[in-house]
Chains A and B, each alone.
Chain A
Amino acid sequence: MWARLLALIVKELLVVLRDPRSRFILVGPPVVQLVVFAFAATLEVKNVDLVVLNRDEGASGLELVRRIEGSPTFRSVLAVHDPKALQKAIDQQQAICAVHIGPSFSRDLVAGRPASVQFMLDGRRSNAAQIVNGYLGTIVNTYVADENERSHRVASTPRVVPRNWFNPNLTFTWFTVPGLIAIVAQLIGLIVTALSVARERELGTFDQLMVAPLRTPEILLGKLIPPMLIGLAHITLYVLATVLIFSVPLRGSLLLLYGSALFFLAAVAGIGLFISSLCATQQQAILGAFLFLAPATLLSGFATPIENMPPWLQPLTTVNPLRYFLVVTRGVFLKAMPFAEVVKSTVPLFFIAVVTLTVAAWLFRRRTE
């Protein structure tokens, strides 16, 4: 039994490493993903372009514009003199926000009349617009409060003191990169398994395997263990990259991460085997994997929080293994997640793995008779 299983595992690993197509899959997408996702998948709002129409003749308007220009968030602040230009700049997406300071701003402020600044934001990009609005609002509120305080109009204004736990500078890569560990483990675990049986079918080696004196459990293990090993290898490389290249702090226990990863990979490999058993060619397997990967990734909380989804959709995410493992990778890295919390996220993974592996084994048996 062990000699046969070992032969199967060695063979499977060799095939994956020697087949140029599989080698491409092992290297191409993970590297592209690491580079592109880590740098491009950011919801941060930086390098913002603004236009300002300052119609105020007093000092306050100028001072406010100076404060806005001084903020590092804004890349360019273009001054215009015509309300039409404001509209044009937004329409053509030359600026995400147009600031309009009315003619009586300084006077109103001094006189204690309601002085107001208008922001016109591009609602086509509502998320970025909202964040820009937050930045600008803070600048204006602080300025008004400072002015009021200087003129002793208000006793004291409560300040909001922000504290960012786990990620003091709200660095976006700290959010994406640990998540990518889970994403890459899913991608590799799924595709390597999905391709393995389909490849044997397509190339005709499957019959050769089926006439050898192997028992179904041996073949199944021989198909499941190699993708899990490869998945663990990718996890390790990504963990190293996370710590060494992206300097994300590793606060929790790696042992817990790997322990949970085993169950996650088993669940994913089960799904991969399921896809593989249904497909006759590698091309179908790739499309099948994609059909699973797209929704699994989008409904996992990787890019956007699950609680933002409509309530009727949220229960669907409870069967998505990625959802749980994302909590673990992010938790272990940033939050030093304790044992009990990791277990809480791993138990669902265990049950999902049991279900997917059972179904895959059943289908595999049926399809091979």
Chain B
Amino acid sequence: MMPSSSERPYSARARARRILALIRKEVRQIFRDPSSILIAFVLPLILLFLFGYGVSLDTTRTRIGVAIERSTPSARGLLAAFQASPYFEVDVATDRRELEQPLTSGQLRGIIVIPASFDADLWKRSATPAVQVIVDGSDPNTAALVQGYAQGVVGVWTRARAVEAGRVRSPSGSEERFWFNPELSSRFFLVPGSIAIVMALVGTLLTSLVVAREWERGTMEAMMATPVTAIELLLGKIIPYFVLGLASMSLCALVAVWLFDVPFRGSVLALYVISAAFLLPALGQGLLISAATKNQFLASQLALLSAFLPTFLLSGFLFEISSMPRVIQWITNLVPGRWLIPSLQTVFVAGDIWPLFLRDVGAMSLFGVVFLALAVRTTRKRVA
């Protein structure tokens, strides 16, 4: 009825043809399965949107209260300085006790107390005039920023007064320049960082789900009983999801630049090299998880726990690695995302800095090789 085989089944040509057939199958499935599209394109946009708008460390116009205990010219001058500051939205009171309740309930982030003796102390050599800055320490980051800004306002006001009085010709002090991001927009680092999370989701979560589904439905077993080898099967998965990962990264990059006005100062080549290097460990991890669990439910759990969470928390995306305890700092070295984030932020905001890229690409490729090797080993073993 049917002719029998003549070509050698393990020639390079035969291998390539099988891999191509597997890729074609995978691409068809991706386009027909709504959950693939959901994870690869919709979820990334939602995340990007959330990180672009929802998460912001830019403490612009923080609401504070200023208590002027006695209305003297200097006190009024300092108050005006606070009111003029772009960082503050000021409620004025004559008694600090009026402002304490709003501070407790969270309506105010801080209280500036200009004491009754302020004016007098300014002119007395023996006394030190003091401005009290009370902040709501229950949110330490905002508290630290409010303190810093308040310090700045008082400093500027003092120097302006000194110049006015002619005692110094010009104020001394520090002069800061924020490179790459003079507007200090946290979006500049959060949006590129969230692209890393998106790639971790597509690379690891989506891959582990689709491969676990094959195990669950028994198609993996059917494939294994054909001339296809484990490596061919894995390549048939890696290649399409690699391309899909780059596609959803590209979508995010476009949205980042066009919608969120994140600058793109590096080269497109660098962006793709960095992303490609990250997708290797991400895909390897996904394949490893699915081969080890063979179950979509467990795979999704493990993928979220081992890819999403570390990329979110331990990569320096939002939280400074150098501020973490030493043990955790050491652990972050094992998170591939930790090597992606600096390069990704750099290629967007700073430009091509190849020494940095090469270090990170090297580290990620190393993880990629390890994960992929483990995935091949586990897949081979797990047929049984």
Q: Of A22-30, A206-214, A215-223, A233-241, which binds chain B? A: A22-30
> How far, in whole Å, are A154 and B162 apart by their CA atoms in the complex?
7
Whether A158 sits at the interface, judged by CB under 8 Å, is yes
- A126-B188, A167-B138, A298-B55 known; A341 and B319 CB under 8 Å? no
Q: B141 contacts A162, CB within 8 Å?
A: no
> How far, in whole Å, are A284 and B296 apart by their CA atoms in the complex?
9
Q: B323 contacts A46, CB within 8 Å?
A: yes
Name the A residues within 8 Å of B171 (CB-CB): 114
Name the B residues within 8 Å of A172 (CB-CB): 140-141
> How far, in whole Å, are A108 and B172 apart by their CA atoms in the complex?
9
- A283-B297, A295-B50 known; A174 and B176 CB under 8 Å? no
Q: A164 contacts B181, CB within 8 Å?
A: no
Q: A126 contacts B184, CB within 8 Å?
A: yes
Name the B residues within 8 Å of A21 (CB-CB): 297-298, 301
- A40-B314, A303-B55 known; A161 and B342 CB under 8 Å? no
> How far, in whole Å, are A75 and B180 apart by their CA atoms in the complex?
24
Name the B residues within 8 Å of A10 (CB-CB): none
CB contacts under 8 Å to B, within A155-200, are 155-168, 170-172, 174-175
Q: A163 contacts B300, CB within 8 Å?
A: no
Q: How many residues of A contact B (CB 8 A)?
A: 103
Whether A127 sits at the interface, judged by CB under 8 Å, is yes
- A93-B342, A125-B189 known; A290 and B304 CB under 8 Å? yes
- A172-B140, A304-B57 known; A156 and B177 CB under 8 Å? no
Whether B247 sits at the interface, judged by CB under 8 Å, is no
- A43-B319, A124-B189, A137-B174 known; A32 and B305 CB under 8 Å? yes
Whether B271 sits at the interface, judged by CB under 8 Å, is no
Name the B residues within 8 Å of A290 (CB-CB): 304
Whether B58 sits at the interface, judged by CB under 8 Å, is yes
Name the B residues within 8 Å of A41 (CB-CB): 313, 318-319
Taking a contact as CB atoms closer than 8 A, the residue among B175, B328, B342, B346 that contacts A36 in the complex is B328
Whether B93 sits at the interface, judged by CB under 8 Å, is no
Whether A141 sits at the interface, judged by CB under 8 Å, is yes
Q: B304 contacts A44, CB within 8 Å?
A: no
Name the B residues within 8 Å of A121 (CB-CB): 176-179
Whether B29 sits at the interface, judged by CB under 8 Å, is no
> How far, in whole Å, are A144 and B170 apart by their CA atoms in the complex?
13
Taking a contact as CB atoms closer than 8 A, the residue among A48, A90, A157, A158 that contacts B118 in the complex is A158
0 or 1 for each of B16-58: is its CB under 8 Å from A? (1 = yes): 0000000000000000000100000001001100110111111
> How far, in whole Å, are A354 and B60 apart by their CA atoms in the complex?
36
Nearest chain B CB to A149 CB, angstrom units: 10
Nearest chain B CB to A200 CB, angstrom units: 14
> How far, in whole Å, are A47 and B356 apart by their CA atoms in the complex?
21
Q: B174 contacts A119, CB within 8 Å?
A: yes
Q: B328 contacts A124, CB within 8 Å?
A: no
Q: Of A224-232, A259-267, A308-316, which binds chain B? A: A308-316
Whether B158 sits at the interface, judged by CB under 8 Å, is yes
Whether B362 sits at the interface, judged by CB under 8 Å, is no
CB contacts under 8 Å to B, within A294-330, are 294-295, 298-299, 303-305, 307-310, 313, 327, 330
Name the A residues within 8 Å of B129 (CB-CB): 156-159
Q: How many residues of B contact A (CB 8 A)?
A: 103
- A32-B305, A166-B137, A299-B54 known; A124 and B181 CB under 8 Å? yes
> How far, in whole Å, are A354 and B132 apart by their CA atoms in the complex?
45
> How far, in whole Å, are A40 and B325 apart by their CA atoms in the complex?
8
Name the A residues within 8 Å of B319 (CB-CB): 40-43
Q: B135 contacts A163, CB within 8 Å?
A: yes
Taking a contact as CB atoms closer than 8 A, the residue among B35, B59, B173, B318 that contacts A140 in the complex is B173
> How far, in whole Å, are A308 and B181 apart by their CA atoms in the complex?
18
Whether B7 sits at the interface, judged by CB under 8 Å, is no
CB contacts under 8 Å to A, within B131-179, are 131-145, 147-148, 150-152, 154-155, 158, 162, 167-179
Nearest chain A CB to B120 CB, angstrom units: 11
Whether A16 sits at the interface, judged by CB under 8 Å, is no
> How far, in whole Å, are A137 and B153 apart by their CA atoms in the complex?
12
Q: B167 contacts A154, CB within 8 Å?
A: yes
- A286-B300, A294-B50 known; A156 and B143 CB under 8 Å? no
Whether B122 sits at the interface, judged by CB under 8 Å, is yes
Whether A129 sits at the interface, judged by CB under 8 Å, is yes
CB contacts under 8 Å to A, within B56-81, are 56-60, 62-63, 78
Taking a contact as CB atoms closer than 8 A, the residue among B60, B132, B140, B298 that contacts A161 in the complex is B132
Most A-side CB within 10 Å, residue of B57, B123, B137 = B137
Name the B residues within 8 Å of A327 (CB-CB): 106
Q: B314 contacts A131, CB within 8 Å?
A: no
Whether B127 sits at the interface, judged by CB under 8 Å, is yes
Name the B residues within 8 Å of A305 (CB-CB): 59, 139, 142
> How far, in whole Å, are A305 and B136 apart by their CA atoms in the complex?
13
> How far, in whole Å, are A48 and B321 apart by their CA atoms in the complex?
10
Q: A118-B176, A141-B151, A334-B137 are in contact. List 17 more A-B contacts (CB 8 A).
A: A21-B301, A24-B301, A43-B318, A93-B342, A93-B356, A126-B186, A130-B145, A140-B173, A140-B174, A153-B168, A158-B78, A158-B158, A175-B140, A286-B297, A294-B47, A295-B46, A309-B53
A-B contacts, 30 listed (Cβ < 8 Å)? A21-B298, A43-B140, A44-B140, A118-B177, A119-B174, A119-B175, A119-B176, A122-B179, A126-B184, A130-B178, A136-B174, A137-B173, A141-B174, A148-B168, A155-B123, A158-B122, A158-B154, A161-B130, A164-B143, A166-B138, A167-B143, A168-B137, A174-B140, A286-B304, A298-B50, A304-B57, A308-B58, A310-B53, A313-B54, A344-B105
What residues make up the interface of B, taking CB atoms closer than 8 Å to A?
Answer: 35, 43, 46-47, 50-51, 53-60, 62-63, 78, 103-106, 118, 121-125, 127-145, 147-148, 150-152, 154-155, 158, 162, 167-182, 184-186, 188-189, 209, 296-298, 300-301, 304-305, 309, 313-314, 318-320, 322-325, 328, 342, 345-346, 349-350, 353, 355-356
Q: Name the 9 nearest CB pairs between A and B, nearest first.
A: A123-B181, A167-B137, A134-B148, A114-B170, A164-B137, A170-B140, A123-B180, A308-B56, A43-B141
